[in-house]
Amino acid sequence: MITKVSVIGAGAVGSMLSFHLFSRLSLSELAIVDIAGDLAKGVSLDIEDSRAFFNSSTKVEGTDDFCSIKDSDIIVITAGVARKEGMSRLDLLKINAKVAKDVSTSIKKHAKNCIVITVTNPLDLITYIVHKETGFSRNRVIGMGSLLDSVRLLNVLYKESNMSTASFEAFVFGLHNNAMIVSENHIRIKGEKAGKFLSRDAIKRIQEKTAHRGGEIISYLKNRSANFAPSFSVFKLIKTIAEDSNEIIPVSVLLSGEYGLSDVCVGVPCVINKTGIAKIIEVELTNDEKEKLASVKEEFKQLKELA
């Protein structure tokens, strides 16, 4: 049973996620931790002031002290630097890899049985670092990236086709960066192939728009990155774990031979339940997609060297 969740990082994503958790889940405890002085304290007081609206009895603690994550069932890492305009996810690597290592040490010390959800970018490498530094089994280290990319795809599909999002079944996989794989074969509209309803040009546009959505948002926000859809994507993962609902969700996970890849974290569809990642699903890929996924190995090698 999920009774305590901790959110590390009380910035844009962490604070919004904390509000979703407070207002929509019946937790006993919610801890929010940030190294920036009293920031987490301020966020926690603001969130708990909405208590009467939700008739919530969740205890909320905001602090810069990592001891407060003790015995959490789930810990979410949103700590680090967010991508700014002109900055690639790789630019973030050096700073955020160090943050991930420090946070992992605290997690190992205070909550050795928890499930960790990583959000900090570059997502797949941070997921890998957290897996290595905590020593947790791969079912307990879940990277949230492809879920966000997938809901972005659903929105782009909606806008391009003028059909309700409930008509679509579609997911994105691969790395959580511009090289993500938006597979036409894995877009279904009421069970039919996308090509039945959409022109080739439209499908190409949908793939392009989805892959560049994060960058497009940053180009308008300038000094911060997206937070509404990302925080709700994390909330959705936590709800799935809490409800033990065995839903298939694309998440970044350490592969050990699946899809012909090993020792890399990458987004693939997985069954999510109270154990975290219960099963990795291997879907059929085209030769092009197989090649694209195989190139993750090379990209990951470079990333590991940089980190």
Catalytic residue ranges:
176
Q: Is 96 in the site for ligand NAD (CB under 6 A)?
A: yes
Q: With CA atoms as reference, report the closest residue to 26 among 242, 272, 246.
A: 242
Cα–Cα distance measured from residue 96 to residue 92, given in angstroms and rounded to the nearest whole number: 6
Residue 103 or 211: the one with the smaller Cβ distance to ligand NAD is: 103
Write phi, then psi, for 257 (nearest 5 degrees). 105, -25
13 binds ligand NAD (CB under 6 A): yes
Size of interface with ligand NAD, in residues (CB under 6 A) = 36
CB of 105 to ligand NAD, least distance (A): 10
> Using an 8 Å Cβ cutoff, are 240 and 205 in contact?
no
Among 23, 29, 35, 91, binds ligand NAD (CB under 6 A): 35
Span near ligand NAD by CB under 6 A; candidates 50-58, 97-105, 254-262, 274-282: 97-105
CB of 122 to ligand NAD, least distance (A): 8
Binding status of residue 198 toward ligand NAD by CB under 6 A: no
Query: Which residues, numbered 132-191, are part of the site for ligand NAD (CB under 6 A)?
Result: 144-145, 148, 176
| C-alpha dihedral sign at 110, 136, 275, 116 | positive
Query: Is 75 an interacting residue with respect to ligand NAD (CB under 6 A)?
Result: no
Cβ distance to ligand NAD smaller for residue 80 or 174 = 80
Instruction: Name the helix (H) or strand (E) containing 61.
Output: strand 59-63
The amino acid occupying position 145 is G
CA 71, 72, 76, 79 torsion-angle sign: negative
Hey, what are 210's tokens?
Answer: 């989805």
In the complex, the smallest distance separating the C-beta of residue 41 from ligand NAD, rounded to whole angstroms, is 12
For 301, the token pair is 């090698």
The least CB distance from residue 90 to ligand NAD, in Å, is: 12
Q: What is the DSSP secondary structure assignment for residue 81, as one 8-state letter? A: P
Interface with ligand NAD (CB under 6 A), residue from 63, 120, 127, 139 = 120
Whether the CB-CB separation of 236 and 24 falls below 8 Å is answered with no
Measured between alpha carbons, how far is 90 from 88 in angstroms, rounded to an integer?
Answer: 5
- Interface residues with ligand NAD (CB under 6 A) are 8-14, 33-36, 39, 78-83, 92, 96, 99, 102-103, 119-121, 123, 144-145, 148, 176, 224-227, 230
